[in-house]
Structures are given as structure tokens and as C-alpha cells.
Structure 1
């Protein structure tokens, strides 16, 4: 019946496989994949009516504590499969996967916090102005091996210096990263290259640019695929920003442009710099909300260990021409390739929340025609005036988000208020937790 209704018409490979179940998934506020496995014979019903989940999942922290939801009696939400996202999971034979949108369980129920819905909303707002936002995400991650004898119970998958851009068994002994890249490429996910990154056992899989919602879906699926395939191989994959004190961190960079009438609205061949006022306004909008955006782009306690000088991660709200020490880099390509790159993102960021928040900030700049200040030149870490310093802790970033009424109204109180509550709970747990550093520093001597 599914095939007759055309649900398996895309991609074609679904018709050639013995699909036994469909994994219906969605992103929680952390960016973690949640969902249910549905037997193939039940998927028609799930596609029509959706699947019920306790909505408290959207207000639960990473230590399994429901922070938000009890005050409403822990009601349900409904995950409605978006059939256009139906695809195979090559690493799990017989399993297909479909991304869901989140809806209230009834017309009188409160709308749930829906990260993917926030991207839809941001895209629709740009479309009202005649623009189509395009995004190209870049993600880095570490691969580790469980080892009870190692610090924190893990060691790095490959632990040799100067492996950056090395390929083959030396850099990926089990071929895990290559397998993920090939599998996602076959599914039309836009993966076009992979490499060992600069840090020991750090990797990057490149995704092509695409319409903003598609790009966010791809980034969400990439993170899930990396963690699943690593687990199949007995490894642990982490997008945590800075998991090791002796290594740099993993970033999540976002490239943005706006299409208008089948052309790039960020390009202007008559401008001395080759970029349009629209690009400048978009960039100014992001910088105007840089402090609040940091909460979504660097959503963990750990993320702020990465935002330090000489890390290729920004420390101030600024922009520059092809400058990797700035918050926003304007790459050198022009014409159809004109774009902005936001470099502050941490690997742990939720692709949907980060994409939506950046688009809404850029939209504010475009709507209000916000002026763009001068660029930074050279090494922004050493300048006397590199711009306003970014928050140096999650607590500071949350305060900035709470105070940013433009971004809060755009993202919606369901998302922002729940995010703030969960993350403030995380900050407080961290404040009262005795760390290994404290024990090593004080226990023997004091």
C-alpha cells in the first residue's frame, strides 16, 4: 500500500530493498535524534496520523532530567513524518528513515518546541521578501575508542600528530569515515568529500550547499549517521566542541547566501568589492545579535573552552574579508559563489536551532537595512579594537539570549523559554559539581 501511494517513490532505491521498518526521527533541543521504529505494515497509519511522544522530551536535559513539562502535566506531542525525507539507512539493512515535524496533539494543545519548524518559519519569512536562503554546513568531530584504562574511559581512534589531510588506512584504519561518506553520497545527501582534520582523530565530512531546510536536515542526519556507524564499529563519535585538553576543538561553520530570481542576491558585479548591500545588511544583522546567537551556536558549558585566541574560532563580534580569525568571514569567491561564513559555531550545536537563529538575525538586518561597520584585517586576536567580546560562558550567552527580544520573538517562546530553562539547569548542575581538575589541584595539598 505504501508503494501504491508513492511514499517509496523517492529515493528509487527504496523500491529495490526489503524494507521491514521505518525509523521516524526528529531533533530535540540538544540536537539529539529521538524517534520510534515503525514496522513497515504500520507506517501508513503513522504517516497519516503521526506518532505520539511525551512532550517533556523537548525539555529534558542530557542527564535525563525533565526540566520543563511537569507544570503542564506532561502532555503529548505528535511527530508527523515528512514523506519527502524518506530514505534508506545503508548501514542498517531493511531500515528506512523519515524526519518528522512536531505538532500539538490537538487544536487546543500548546504548540511544542519544534526546531525544524523554526527553520521553516525563517525560510518563509525570507520568501515573503522574495529571497530563498541557501546554507552550506561544515561539521567536525572526533572518533574515540572505549578504553577503561584511559582517562575518562576513552582514547583517540588515531592518535598521531600531523595527520591533517592524510587519507587511507593510516588516517581511518577501519574505513569508518569513508563508509559514512560513501553511504550518504549514494542517498543524495550532498556529501562530496571527507578528510582527517587538524587535531588527532578529528574528521570532517563536507556537505554541499542546499536550500536552508534541506541543508539543516542533512547536517542533522550526518551527525546521527556518524554516531550510529561509529557505534556499529565499536567506536564513539563526538561532536562535543573540545573533548581533549591537549587538542583544539570541533567547529560547526555555516555558509549562507540568498537566491533571488535564480541569481545570488549577495553578488553585485558593479560593487568595488563584488558584494551587494543585501549581503552587508545580512552580515550586520548577524553581528547585531552575535551575543544572543552564541547561546544557540555554543550551547554547552564545554563550548566556551574552544572560543580562545589562536584557535581559529572567534573571540569577538566582527567580520573580515577571507579572514578565519573573524566571527564572520566573507570568502574570496564572487558571483554565484558570494556568501558569508559564520565561524563561531561549536560542533555540539543543534543544526536546526543554529540555522533558524542565524537566518532570523540576518533577516532583521535585511529588513531594517542595518549598516555594516568596517572589517577587521590581519590577525583579529592581536588587534587593539577587534570588536565587542563574545560571551565567555554559557551563562553569559543565555543572559544575552533572554535579553534579545527580536530573536526571542522570531524563534518563538516555546523554543527560547524551554531552551533557557534546560540550559540554566545545566549551568547550575555544573556550578555545584566537583570536577577532576579540582581534585587534582587541591586534594593532596590542601
Structure 2
């Protein structure tokens, strides 16, 4: 008589994955076996190459890297035991976030956000934030999008139909899976709906402490992309998938508090906008052009920042005005906040939030002023106090690299390394010849 072998029971904490953000906001990681990562913030070794790679795992030439990582040895990762989440819809795969520490901490995107929030704390402020992401679903696989021309890719739905109840009902099983996945991963949503554009869904992540909000955001993006593939689909968070459709945003809602009180709120002022909030927004506008590359980090990002696409074209603000870069949303103290609309869905959550909060804190430190709000369409306003946003990744990167305030707020080593990575990203894309160029010029010119 033979005894049936029993399946090995694996402790999820000893067979978990760890993930760390690279410059592009992509979670890089691996399984950590045989080590309980749920008890205490341990340190493990991880290749420093992820701080040198671009999004296609290429290392920029030495000419783009002033202080290159020459040996690509191991770096120290601090495992954040409190971040463990189940990230698979049908299983119990657990993911723990990590951050670079030691010699590499100054380059770590999560570390950059921690330093910005610490600077806010030095003024007595804590930050609450919530991300909104638009993403597009295609009924394609990784193989078919490689084999088929873009014009033949099939989106989940055809044409624009924002806030569609009909589509939400028709795809209730799919939306239900997203809701269940987020609940299981401890990433609560405050809203989920179809947005304008074929196959576009918008998810609003519930607001919370700023660092936790960025952690949730970066996990959400990776989790949705993985879930889509299990459904035979592909999800993209590109800022602009086609010139025929609106771009995909990554708006960030922010409020600041002190001793439990919302310091953006003042019941004795017009629209309840406090002096501190005016200074904060004034700083966001003053440094929006210099810090833009943190919120719009890719060549493709700037194709979203054009008139008529529900995206800002200049450093502008307004009260409940969605055409502006900063939209103040007045309300009761518990809801009074701003929406930072510069960032696209392709944003690295840690760096996008660092941009929005860091520039605001500079405004408070400098007692920045604020002009009258934009009432109409900000893209059609003339005489704005600031020049329009950078016209592309090259200009935005140059402004960031040359900005003394960027080095002051984010650290000189990070500014240098991130600027080098963005110069390489621009170079990697700018000389590519597109199908549109061939169609436009081949016969005529």
C-alpha cells in the first residue's frame, strides 16, 4: 500500500515577492524563498542594474551617465514588512515593497518622496493624497500586439462613451474582478467607471497618508497589468496611445494638515482657500516648468499636454476648473483639497507626488503669491504669468537638470542621475521614423 504524497504547504511570507521602483515607476523584483520577510524590515541584496536600465533593460551609453554604475554589483534593499499585499486575483501571491538603502538610497524614488515629506513635516505639515488612473484595455496579447499593426488592435470597447452605465453593466463581471482584486490587495477604491475613449477605465484610489498612497498606486498599476494578461487582455498606462483619442491621466489629489486640521481650509476666506493653500499652489505653479519632468517623464508624455485633450498646457490654476494644471476643489474641511492635473498615467507615483508636494512646500517657504484664478478654458487664456509648459522631454529635462531648487528639494545626486536617464530616453525615441512620417512625406516631399 502506497501513501499518497501530500502537497507541500508554503508559507506565503517565506515564498513572497519583493518589488522596488525603478526610475520609470516599474516594479522590479523577485521571489524571496526560505526567508520570512513579514517580520521586521530586513535587508536583502538586489542588482543595482535596475537603477541604470531604461524601460527596455538597456544601459545608457557612458556619455549619458556622468557617474555611471560601473560594476553593476549588488545594492541593499530594505524590505518594508508593512506593505505586504495579495496581488493575484485567483491566488495568494504576496508582494512586499522594498526601497534602496545605504549607498543607493539617494537614488531611490521612494526615498526621494520620503525626503520631500520629511521636509513638509519640518514645517509641521503632513500630507494626504489619492491617485486617479486612466488605463486602456485591449483584447490583445503580448504576442498579437507585437505581430499586428496598431490599427488592427481591438480595444475592449469601441469609441468614446464616458461614464457609461450601459458599458458598466455589460462589463460588470470585469469591473467586479477589479474591485475584488483591489479589496484583496488593500487598495480601496473610491470610484471606478468607463472614461471617454475606447476601452478606457478610470480608477480612483481612496486617499490616505501620502507615502502609503504612492505605495498603493505603484502596486495598482503593476497589478492591473498582470490581471489583464490573465484575462487575455493587455492594459496600458501610456499617457497617449493615439492622436485620435484623449490622453490618459494620473491626477493626484492632495491636502495638507497640521495637528489634525486641514491647513488648506479657512472658513473666513473666499472659497475657503487659506493663505497657506495659496502659497502652496503658488509654489506648484512657480516650479511646474522646472519640475515638469517628474510628472511627465517620457517622450510620449508631452503628446498628452496639448489643447483639447483635458490636460494642462500651462502652469495655471482655477476653482473646480478641469482645464487648469491645478484645480482647487472647495468643500468641507474633510474634503477641501487640490487636484494636481499635470501628471499622466505613465507617472512614477513616488516622483509625481514628490513634484506636486515639493514645489508646494517651496511656495510656502518663499511665501509665493497667486494670481487670479482662470475662469474659462486655460488653454485659450493669454497673458498668463508663466510661459507654457515645456514642449518636450528634452526641454523639461534640461530645466530640471539646471534648477538649483530641484537639487535643493530632491537631492543633487538624484537630479543628476534622473536627468541622465531622461536624456537617454529622449535620445532613444527621437530619431525613430514613424509610420505617420512615411505616410506624410514619402511620396509628396
Partner residue of 2:131? Answer: 137
Looking at structure 2, the residues matched to 353 and 432 of structure 1 have their Cα atoms a distance apart, in angstroms, of 27
The alpha-carbon distance between structure 1 residues 393 and 114, as it changes in their structure 2 partners (threshold 3 A), is same
Deviation per CA, 1:159-181, whole angstroms, max 9, x where unpaired? Answer: 32343222476676483343122
Number of residues paired by the alignment? 426
Q: Summarize the alignment of residues 108-127 of structure 1 with structure 2, pairs less than 5 Å apart.
A: 109=103, 111=105, 113-127=107-121
Q: Summarize the alignment of residues 292-303 of structure 1 with structure 2, pairs less than 5 Å apart.
A: 292-303=290-301
Deviation per CA, 1:85-139, whole angstroms, max 9, x where unpaired? Answer: 11222425231111112113xxxx4545111111111111111211111111111
Q: How far did residue 71 of structure 1 move? A: 4.8
Q: How far did residue 43 of structure 1 move? A: 2.9
Q: How far did residue 202 of structure 1 move? A: 0.6
Q: How far did residue 74 of structure 1 move? A: 2.0
Q: How far did residue 272 of structure 1 move? A: 2.8
Looking at structure 1, the residues matched to 424 and 12 of structure 2 have their Cα atoms a distance apart, in angstroms, of 45
Indicate conservation of the 8 Å contact 2:139/2:156, yes or no: no
Q: How far did residue 350 of structure 1 move? A: 0.2
Looking at structure 2, the residues matched to 176 and 27 of structure 1 have their Cα atoms a distance apart, in angstroms, of 28
Partner residue of 2:315? Answer: 317
Indicate conservation of the 8 Å contact 1:185/1:192, yes or no: no
Looking at structure 2, the residues matched to 153 and 27 of structure 1 have their Cα atoms a distance apart, in angstroms, of 32
- Alignment partner of 2:139: what SS? strand
Match among 21, 24, 42 for residue 35 of structure 2: 42
Indicate conservation of the 8 Å contact 2:239/2:248, yes or no: yes
The TM-score, its normalising length taken from structure 1, stands at 0.89
Deviation per CA, 1:202-234, whole angstroms, max 9, x where unpaired? Answer: 111111111110111111111011101011112
Matched, 1:33 2:31: no
Looking at structure 1, the residues matched to 271 and 243 of structure 2 have their Cα atoms a distance apart, in angstroms, of 40
Partner residue of 1:438? Answer: 437
Looking at structure 2, the residues matched to 77 and 89 of structure 1 have their Cα atoms a distance apart, in angstroms, of 25
Indicate conservation of the 8 Å contact 2:248/2:345, yes or no: yes
Q: Which runs of 5+ in 2 are unaligned?
A: 1-9
Indicate conservation of the 8 Å contact 2:13/2:37, yes or no: no
Q: Summarize the alignment of residues 45-444 of structure 1 with structure 2, pairs less than 5 Å apart.
A: 49-67=42-60, 68=65, 70-91=68-89, 93-104=91-102, 109=103, 111=105, 113-146=107-140, 147=144, 150-152=148-150, 155-167=153-165, 173=171, 175-387=173-385, 388-444=387-443
Indicate conservation of the 8 Å contact 2:272/2:330, yes or no: no
Partner residue of 1:4? Answer: none
Partner residue of 2:6? Answer: none
Looking at structure 1, the residues matched to 361 and 37 of structure 2 have their Cα atoms a distance apart, in angstroms, of 38
The alpha-carbon distance between structure 1 residues 154 and 43, as it changes in their structure 2 partners (threshold 3 A), is farther
The alpha-carbon distance between structure 1 residues 255 and 169, as it changes in their structure 2 partners (threshold 3 A), is closer
Looking at structure 2, the residues matched to 73 and 372 of structure 1 have their Cα atoms a distance apart, in angstroms, of 48
Looking at structure 1, the residues matched to 225 and 376 of structure 2 have their Cα atoms a distance apart, in angstroms, of 37
Indicate conservation of the 8 Å contact 2:42/2:79, yes or no: no
The alpha-carbon distance between structure 1 residues 126 and 235, as it changes in their structure 2 partners (threshold 3 A), is same
Q: How far did residue 24 of structure 1 move? A: 0.5
The alpha-carbon distance between structure 1 residues 364 and 112, as it changes in their structure 2 partners (threshold 3 A), is closer
Partner residue of 2:3? Answer: none
Q: Which runs of 5+ in 1 are unaligned?
A: 1-15
The alpha-carbon distance between structure 1 residues 131 and 172, as it changes in their structure 2 partners (threshold 3 A), is farther
Give the stretch that moved more between structures: 331-340 or 161-170: 161-170
Looking at structure 1, the residues matched to 374 and 203 of structure 2 have their Cα atoms a distance apart, in angstroms, of 29
